[in-house]
Structure formats: C-alpha cells, structure tokens
C-alpha cells in the first residue's frame, strides 16, 4: 500500500513540474495598466507582481485599483524588455496558454524562440505578468513601451500620453524616432524593439516553460511556489548588451503540455479580471485596431 502511495505521489510531482511547451504567436502592447497578475490570489506565488504609482514609485497596496479604472496602480517602467546578448533577451508578456489558467501561468516564465520574421532564431525569455480575455491560445502579447495602448490608455493618467498613446493606438510608434516621444524611463524598452528585435511584426514562436531568471523576478518580486519546470536552465549567462542607444543616432544598431495554436479572430473586447489583449495580425479589431501591429487592452479587473 505504501509503495502504491509513493508511486502516485511521485507521478503527481512529475506532472506538476512537467514542462509546458508548444507553438504559438506573439503581438505587442504597452497600456500602462495594472497587470492581472498583480492582484492577490491569482496564483500560488511569493507575492503578486509589483506595481507603481503615476510617478513610477513602487506601491505596496496589492488592492490598489488600476490606473485604467481611476486608481493609483500602473505598470512599472522597469518591466520592459532588455538584451542579454545578440540572440537572447529578457522581458514580460501577457499570455494565454492552452490548457491552463492564470493560476498556472501567472509569474511563470517561458522561453520563446522566434520562428518567423526579422527576429527568426532569436530567443526571448518572458515572465507572464498579465492576460487578456481576447488573447488566442498559446498567445504572448509582449510588453514593449510604445507598442500601442489598445482599448485602455493608462499611459495618459500616468505619463500624460496622447489620447491614443504614443503613435497609433494599435501598433504604437512606427519608427525608432518615435521612441523619443516616450518618457525617458520607457525609451530603452522602445528602442529595444527597433534594435535587438529588429521591429519584428507579430512573429510566430515555439515556447517552453523555464525557471525564471533572477534578473526577471527581481523586477516583479513574483516567484511561483512549488517545483520548478523540468527545464531549469533557460537561455545562457552571457553578459548583457546595452540596448539603450538611439538607433537613429547610430545606424549600425540595429498545466498540461501544450502544442499548436489556433489563429482566431481577436476583438477589442475583453472580460472579467484580465488586463491585456491585442489585435490579430490578420483581422481588424472591433475596437478600432487594424493591420499587423497591435496594442494592449485593459479591462481593469480585480
């Protein structure tokens, strides 16, 4: 009897630590709103992700309402992508993983390998800080400043951004020069898109869950409880490269195991307690976004 119990427990532990992987798609957004994973009780984690006030100072009240709903909690400017080397970057994303829920993906990290577009072959390790009711399955909405505010514009109350955000409401700035219009603390993440990411437009990816690098969790303060995924050594330990230079000034810069993804028509609506979504690269949003580029949608839920 004891042997049977031991076998069952071992199997459960193995299942809990199984690596989530599959094929998916990406979009981009930056709406400045409080991320869904910043709310208490979303997942078994050390603490919800860190949020900041309109002056970009960390706040401790996890119950503070989103700035997109008239509250005081916004995205923090340090939760933006940065390069580790020419082929690896770290960052953050809203996500929807097939077979899972927020309890399984909030604060989890995934190694994305781009399989199309100008970033083909490069890797980006992201921590999930948000989700969206209209994200498709195996969909990662990359948090990139200047990537489009989408349905809700929390950047207006936080930074005084224009009504449609910086650039186009869905898609954001259209060139590296547009990054100069963002607040100084957001500009490095914006330039990252045109440097390391080479302005890739919604590239497809393969992905696998990995243990979050300490450099990422130091920014959000959120670490998942329980056993790590079976793939425990993401990326590599190469020294970080700087992506803060302006490329216009330097032209030479340039759950269960998941599989597959569904290309679905995404709309500008979302529900419940999620805070981000995007416009499909192949369809128009009913909220007004069109074309290949995207912006986040915030529903300000709790």
- For the four alpha carbons of 159, 164, 80 and 18, in that order, the dihedral sign comes to positive
The helix (H) or strand (E) run that includes residue 158 is helix 155-159
Quote helix, strand, coil % in the chain, to nearest 5.
20, 20, 60
Catalytic residue positions, numbered: 31, 141
User: Counting Cβ atoms within 10 Å, is residue 40 exposed (0-12), middle (13-18) or buried (19+)?
Assistant: exposed
- Mapping DSSP onto H, E and C, the string for 55-72 reads CCCEECCCCCCEHHHCCC
User: Counting Cβ atoms within 10 Å, is residue 253 exposed (0-12), middle (13-18) or buried (19+)?
Assistant: middle
Q: What is the CA radius of gyration of the chain?
A: 18
Smallest Cα–Cα separation from 35: which of 12, 58, 68, 57? 68
Our measurement of the distance from residue 154's CA atom to the centroid of its chain's CA atoms, rounded to an integer in Å, reads 16
Residue 248 backbone phi and psi in degrees, to 5: -75, -25
Contact 101, 165 (CB under 8 A): no
Q: What does DSSP assign to residue 182?
A: S
User: Counting Cβ atoms within 10 Å, is residue 72 exposed (0-12), middle (13-18) or buried (19+)?
Assistant: middle
Strands 82-85 and 139-143: unpaired
């Amino acid at each position: 009897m004891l042997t049977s119990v031991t076998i069952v427990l071992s199997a459960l532990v193995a299942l809990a630590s199984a690596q989530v992987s599959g094929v998916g798609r990406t979009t981009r957004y930056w709406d400045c709103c409080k991320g869904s994973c910043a709310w208490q009780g979303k997942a078994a984690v050390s603490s919800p992700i860190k949020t900041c006030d309109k002056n970009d100072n960390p706040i401790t009240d996890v119950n503070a309402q989103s700035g997109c709903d008239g509250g005081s909690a916004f995205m923090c400017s340090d939760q933006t992508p940065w390069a580790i080397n020419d082929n690896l970057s770290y960052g953050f994303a809203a996500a929807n993983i097939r077979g899972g829920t927020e309890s399984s993906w909030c604060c989890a990290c995934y190694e994305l390998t781009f399989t199309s577009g100008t970033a083909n072959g490069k890797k980006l390790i992201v921590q999930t800080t948000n989700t969206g009711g209209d994200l498709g399955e195996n969909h990662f909405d990359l948090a990139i400043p200047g990537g489009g505010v989408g349905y809700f514009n929390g950047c207006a109350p936080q930074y005084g951004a224009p009504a449609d955000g910086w650039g186009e409401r869905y898609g954001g700035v259209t060139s590296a020069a547009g990054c100069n219009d963002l607040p100084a603390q957001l500009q490095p993440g914006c330039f990252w898109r045109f440097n390391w990411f080479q302005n890739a437009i919604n590239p497809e990816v393969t992905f696998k869950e990995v243990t979050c690098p300490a450099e990422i969790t130091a920014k959000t303060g959120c670490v998942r409880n329980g056993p790590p995924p079976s793939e425990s050594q993401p990326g590599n330990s190469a020294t970080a490269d700087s992506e803060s230079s302006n490329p216009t000034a330097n032209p030479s810069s340039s759950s269960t195991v998941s599989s597959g993804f569904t290309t679905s028509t995404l709309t500008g609506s979302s529900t419940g307690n999620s805070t981000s979504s995007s416009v499909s690269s192949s369809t128009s949003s009913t909220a007004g976004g069109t074309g290949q580029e995207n912006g986040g949608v915030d529903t300000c839920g709790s």
